[in-house]
Copies of this chain bind each other. A is one copy, B any other.
Amino acid sequence: MKFFEDVLVGDVDELGRYTFTPDDIKSFAHRFDPQRFHIDEEEAARSHFGALCASGWHTASMWMRLAADQRRREAEAAIIRGEPVAQWGPAAGFRELKWLKPVYAGDTIAYRAEVIETRISQSRPESGLVVSFASGDNQKGERVISFVSTVFVQRRPDMP
């Protein structure tokens, strides 16, 4: 887990891929977004989507899941190397969330994050803010989701 000072604008994290199964899509939607095109294949076929597709909140939440997994892997690797582990999170917010294309059952989304800005936090001087362009592309290379995420990241304790 990098400290704030080690995070550079332009850094890219490939967060991994996730395949949205019909069961996943319906399970999330029953709990959080019970619209007809997210919970029923036949209703979805009659909707303008034409087939079962994931809730946008599901697509967004999976970005968070893969980002958290990535942070945990990096923290574990740092511990194995005997290095201190910087705290990432919580998120400070996000903006400009766009659902650009439907995510259909069976689609595999490759998620990534690219650092576009770093700055010291005014409200918490012990932290920096890392602003990332978050995105997900389907197996055809089409972008399905993007947003701008801002997260608090611990500064190196030994920095002046």
User: Contact residues of A with B, CB < 8 Å?
Assistant: 31-35, 37, 49, 55-57, 60-62, 64-65, 68-69, 71-72, 89-99
Contacts and interface: CB of A to CB of B under 8 A. Distances in A.
Q: How many copies does the complex hold?
A: 2
B72 A64 contact: no
A35 B64 CA distance: 10
Contact of A93 (B31, B49, B94, B97): B97
Given A34-B65, A34-B69, A49-B90, 11 more contacts: A32-B65, A33-B61, A33-B64, A33-B65, A33-B68, A35-B89, A55-B64, A56-B91, A91-B99, A92-B99, A95-B97
A62 to B, nearest CB: 7
A37 B83 CA distance: 22
A16 to B, nearest CB: 14
A90 B35 contact: yes
B32 A61 contact: yes
A72 B38 CA distance: 14
A117 to B, nearest CB: 17
A147 to B, nearest CB: 8
A150 to B, nearest CB: 10
A91 B99 CA distance: 8
A90 B32 contact: no
B90 A98 contact: no
